[in-house]
Amino acid sequence: MKQKVIAYGRVREKAQEQLREKYDLHVFSGEEDLNDKAFTEALAEADGIIGLGMQVDADFLAHAPKLKGISNVSVGYDNLDLEELTKRGIAATNTPGVLNDTTADAIFGLLLATARRIPELDRYVKVGNWKSGLSDSKFGIDVHHRKLGIIGMGRIGEAIAKRGYGGFDMEILYHNRSRKPEVEEKYEAAYRELDDLLQEADYVCLMTPLTPDTRHLMGREQFKRMKEDAIFVNGSRGETVDEDALVEALQQGEILAAGLDVFQEEPVPADHPLLQLENTVTTPHIGSATDATEDKMSLLASQNLDAVLQGRRPPNLLNEAAMRDNK
């Protein structure tokens, strides 16, 4: 009998086709939760799950007694309780590597759009307000030759550093759990303690994974340390930022503006205070959202899950112990 696989949320058609050849595939939109009968019935029988957006904790796993593997179609895996998964011998995987450049493009685009006020000025032109010369009240700030501070120098952080250094002659500062000598060499990047980076950078770009240590990494105190004419960009997870503190910092002019691709609650509610401010530019978590990259991520996730279900070590295993203890 074919093993059963749940595809949840953003799993591209190409990957679904690949999985259907070997597995009994059950496709869900990604809106379902544990109150959904069809979903919990499928979970009860599932050998594997591939997808994006499910919160996998002890409660979820209690509904999935046969599960052998869970394959995230994302590089971030803060939705997975790795300890609980490992305890149950369930392998977990993610999709690193294939989204670096696409995500760096999006986050750098957000930085540029915020600095040069592109969305605001797009609206200004389209509603017919461009009637005479542009008033200097509409001017933005320079990006080139300024200081870019990157918090979280992983592979995506490095791709952002590359763009800033090579394309915009920016001076690169970074903060990370560990020093990255090769990044320091390639991009003349200077390591800084967090507080020092916040004080010095003209652009603070947050790219760290969400962990218990990085939850609300940016709070009142951190925004106060930033320069009044600095821009904050978040390409990590909403929960790395205390959003109330960010609203306050933006309202009180403690920082100039913010470019945000991620929010504590997603989709972010339309009446959220961050969306009412003039000095924010927002995008709906689009880091990796291009057809080509989403295909690559889904296919890599499918390979990961296939390996687990065939008893092989998947290329992007997050919890070694789960498979070791299984053998």
Judge whether 261 and 209 are in contact, CB under 8 Å.
no
Instruction: Tell whether residue 76 is a contact of ligand GLV (CB under 6 A).
Output: yes
* Residue 9 lies near ligand GLV (rule: CB under 6 A): no
Rule CB under 6 A: choose which of 75, 207, 247, 260 binds ligand GLV.
75
Tokens 């790795």 map to which residue?
Answer: 82
| Residue with Cβ nearer ligand GLV (203 or 263) | 263
Residues in 272-291 that interact with ligand GLV by CB under 6 A: 287-288
Question: Judged by CB under 6 A, does residue 316 bind ligand GLV?
Answer: no
By the rule CB under 6 A, 234 interacts with ligand GLV: no
How many residues touch ligand GLV (CB under 6 A)?
Answer: 6
Shortest reach from residue 129's CB to ligand GLV, in Å: 35
Catalytic pick from 237, 243, 254, 294?
237
DSSP string covering 142-162: --TTSEEEEE--SHHHHHHHH
Contact status: 102 vs ligand GLV (CB under 6 A) = no
Give the nearest distance from C-beta 210 to ligand GLV in angstroms: 9
Nearer to ligand GLV, 169 or 266 (CB): 266
The answer to whether 266 is a known catalytic residue is: yes
Other residues' Cβ atoms within 10 Å of the Cβ of residue 292: 9
How many other C-beta atoms can be found within 10 angstroms of the C-beta atom of residue 306? Answer: 22
**Residue labelled with tokens 């490095």:** 158
CB-wise, 69 or 96, nearer to ligand GLV? 96
- Given the DSSP bridges, would you call strands 91-93 and 69-72 parallel, antiparallel or unpaired? parallel
- Candidates 18-26, 37-45, 73-81, 271-279; binding stretch for ligand GLV (CB under 6 A): 73-81
85: enclosing H helix or E strand: helix 82-87
Whether 237 sits among the annotated catalytic residues: the reply is: yes
DSSP string computed for 206-249 = E-PPP-TTTTT-B-HHHHHHS-TT-EEEE-S-GGGB-HHHHHHH
Q: Is 96 in the site for ligand GLV (CB under 6 A)?
A: no
**Phi/psi at 234 (nearest 5 deg)?**
-115, 115
**Positions in the binding site for ligand GLV (CB under 6 A):** 74-76, 99, 287-288
